[in-house]
Structure 1
Amino acid sequence: MVIASAYMAHDEPAPPEPVIKLLQWAEDTKTTLVLGCDANARHTLWGSSETNERDDFDDSGSNYSDNKSKSGSDDEFLQSFKNNEKKRSSFEKIQRKRWTAEEINALTIEFGEPAQISKLPSLKKCIEVINRNPHLKDRTPQQVKSWIDNQRKAEGRKTGSSLNKKKY
């Protein structure tokens, strides 16, 4: 077993070359690797007030859940959804896809106008909406939640609203 840590500067590509080499070595040698990172990543999904360019994260191996204390049944529900998602390499570039009018309409019908939503929906709620609506079948719950948050922020910038400003 190898335990390592890495710092990823905000202005450098992530992951850095030494981390890539370490991951490849661990995979080639079948060595268990525990890697802790200060990735300088910000994302609204884990409570940051903004999302930076490192929003293309791969959380397929994480134990992330939407709320700080979930019951076992909610964790199992979220995990079952994650298990059905297409797995991808953590180094694979994510293809961005524009939101279609049908997808936007489906989200507006389900959640209302994004600017009027005072609290972001849970990942569980996003999964339920995706499962109910065929127009959203190619979207993940994280994408749905991020889209709503981004729309709220855009509206806040237009109106000067402080709805999404967090004080740390």
Structure 2
Amino acid sequence: MPEGLKLDTPRVDDGAAIWRIARDSQVLDLNSSYSYLLWCRDFAATSVVARDGDGGPVGFITGYIRPQAPRTLLVWQVAVDHGQRGRGLAGAMLDGLASRVAEELGADRVETTVTPDNAPSNRLFTSFAERHGAELKREVLFDGEAFPGDGHEPEVLYRIGPVRTLVGSPG
């Protein structure tokens, strides 16, 4: 964990800051501010926020347990404030969240989608799988034509697991 930062469970009052971090990332599909408030209320147990020394959010991961796959954490969005990039915060958040969800909910798999042009996310999830000795499989989940409008890259599904090095994981 980068010095001076700590991981925490998001609270509803973090929703506006999380929305701003997502907006300022300039790479995420920005959801409505309302959706981030709901996410902090309804999916806090499967999400994480990184806080600076003053307690303000400087990064987040939103996720949920897949209803049809209760041992799988689906990571929805990952974002780090510009001033905190390059410090390993995204990896620390992913490790911390996956460990917490393994311990509390028994999840031992992680899924996410990444567009082919998103090199930082590719590195994040590839290195997560390597750090934890987990298998990583990739396949196109949604091709570009599935999205309204023109120019959306395909969303490639990353399936990681089982992750045996997480607290509470079987095996």
Normalised-by-shorter TM-score class = under 0.3
Structure (1 or 2) with the greater helix fraction: 1
Select the structure of larger CA radius of gyration.
1
Q: TM-score, normalised by structure 2?
A: 0.25
Q: TM-score, normalised by structure 1?
A: 0.25
Structure (1 or 2) with the greater strand fraction: 2
